[in-house]
């Protein structure tokens, strides 16, 4: 059974589609589905920008990308994976220092200052993380101060 090459309607015995009016050849062919190459069956090509975003979800995919063969040789993915790992370490250190200082100075009534500092650190980390995800999605290698340089060195190694 022939189909319109434009809209997929049945065009049996006609030269023009009765639905869209497109001219038909000797036998109409079904319209070809336009599927992006990265989601076609059997294709494992995921765009670099998507891999960069996935690297920023948690440190786990970042570590996995650094271990698996197709990704560990990709400089874009390596950079974002290393930057995520270093960013998580920096956030952990800053939060830990703020907590320790809050506990250590609680006897003189300065706990609320370090509690507020902890909130600021967490909110700032979230904003920076969102910027990193957006920049990775845009295909940019946005470097954080200090951390970005370490990530770039590791990505080139």
Same domain, 76 and 100: yes
Q: What is the pLDDT of residue 123?
A: 93
Task: Give the chain's domain count.
Answer: 2
Q: What is the pLDDT of residue 65?
A: 93
Q: Note the pLDDT tens digit of each residue in 66-88.
A: 998 888 888 899 999 999 999 99
Same domain, 75 and 106: yes
Same domain, 14 and 58: no
Instruction: Give the mean pLDDT of 96-102.
Output: 83
Q: What is the pLDDT of residue 111?
A: 67
* C-alpha span between 80 and 88 (Å, rounded): 12
Q: What is the pLDDT of residue 26?
A: 53
* Domain span holding position 22: 1-34
Same domain, 136 and 65: yes
Structure tokens at 69: 């063969």
Q: Quick one: CA torsion of 117, 118, 121, 126, rounded to 10 degrees?
A: -140
Q: Note the pLDDT tens digit of each residue in 8-67.
A: 777 777 777 777 777 876 544 444 444 444 433 334 588 888 999 999 998 999 999 999
> Which DSSP category does 68 fall into?
S
Please check the confidence at residue 153 and state whether its pLDDT lies above 70: yes
Same domain, 46 and 29: no
Q: What is the pLDDT of residue 113?
A: 76
Same domain, 26 and 88: no
More confident residue, 21 or 91: 91
Same domain, 16 and 53: no
**Residue 24: CB partners within 8 Å, gap ≥ 6?**
2, 4, 5, 11, 14, 15, 16, 17
Structure tokens at 58: 């948690």
Same domain, 119 and 51: yes
Same domain, 63 and 136: yes
More confident residue, 143 or 30: 143
Same domain, 152 and 131: yes
In terms of Cα–Cα distance, which of 157, 156, 150 is closest to 83? 150
What are the C-alpha distances in Å from 70 to residues 3, 6, 12, 64? 41, 38, 48, 11
Same domain, 45 and 115: yes
């Amino acid at each position: 059974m022939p189909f319109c090459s434009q809209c997929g309607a049945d065009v049996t015995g006609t030269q023009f589609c009765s639905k869209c009016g497109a001219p038909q050849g000797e036998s109409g062919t079904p319209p070809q589905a336009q599927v992006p190459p990265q989601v076609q069956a059997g294709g494992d090509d995921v765009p670099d920008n998507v891999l960069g975003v996935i690297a920023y979800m948690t440190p786990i995919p970042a570590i996995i990308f650094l271990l698996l063969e197709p990704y560990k040789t990709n400089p874009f993915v390596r950079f974002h994976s290393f930057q995520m790992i270093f960013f998580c370490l920096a956030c952990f250190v800053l939060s830990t220092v703020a907590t320790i200082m809050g506990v250590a100075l609680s006897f003189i009534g300065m706990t609320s200052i370090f509690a507020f500092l902890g909130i600021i650190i967490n909110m700032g980390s979230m904003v920076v993380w969102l910027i990193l995800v957006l920049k990775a999605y845009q295909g940019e290698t946005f470097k954080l101060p200090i951390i970005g340089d370490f990530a770039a060195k590791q990505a080139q190694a």
